[in-house]
Amino acid sequence: MSTSATNSSRESTGALVRPCPACGKGNRIPAEHLADRGRCGACKTAIEPVAEPLNVNADEFRTIVKGAKVPILVDFWAAWCGPCRMAAPEVAKAAATLAGRGLVLKVDTEKHPEVAALFQVRGIPNFVVLKNQQMVVQQAGLVDHRQMVRWVEAA
């Protein structure tokens, strides 16, 4: 599975493999370092923190939430949901704004209902902010990226 905006991939360990912007070599980024700036293992070029929403499955969700050192905004959505499609650009803007200070995960409620059930998601889009594996905000309905950023910054 890849991120929504990059050619990154994931290993079975929950690590994200991100290509170096200079040499293209894949670099394994553990879940706890997704919001950190790193260096390519081959050419030492800087690899910036994740700045786009990550589409995750249930196992990836658990791994990232468990390891994250920053707050996480979770967007529960489904492909058939018109408001969810309207929210997607706002979610992407929030991810870009929060790069290095927070992570944004997208969970497709049709493919991963077990994750949505953990948060009693009954309507989508539904947004949850987690800090230290604890929910600090939950809001159903369409909101703009500025509100999403405020939730994460307050966490």
Q: What is the pLDDT of residue 8?
A: 52
Count Cβ atoms below 10 Å from residue 136 Cβ, excluding itself.
14
Q: What is the pLDDT of residue 13?
A: 53
Find the domain containing 69 and state its range: 54-154
Tokens 């994740």 belong to 50
- Span 64-85, average pLDDT: 96
Q: Would you say residue 3 lies in a domain?
A: no
Number of CB atoms found within 10 A of residue 9's CB = 14
CATH number at residue 16: 2.30.30
Q: Is 81 a catalytic residue?
A: yes
Which DSSP symbol is given to 1? -
Strongest mean pLDDT among 9-18, 27-36, 70-79: 70-79
Q: Which of 65, 61, 52, 50 is nearest to 18 (CA)?
A: 50
Give the chain's mean pLDDT: 91
Mean local confidence (pLDDT), 38-51: 94
CATH of the domain at 123: 3.40.30.10
Which has the minimum average pLDDT: 17-21, 105-109, 135-139?
A: 17-21
Q: Active-site residue among 20, 23, 43, 84?
A: 84
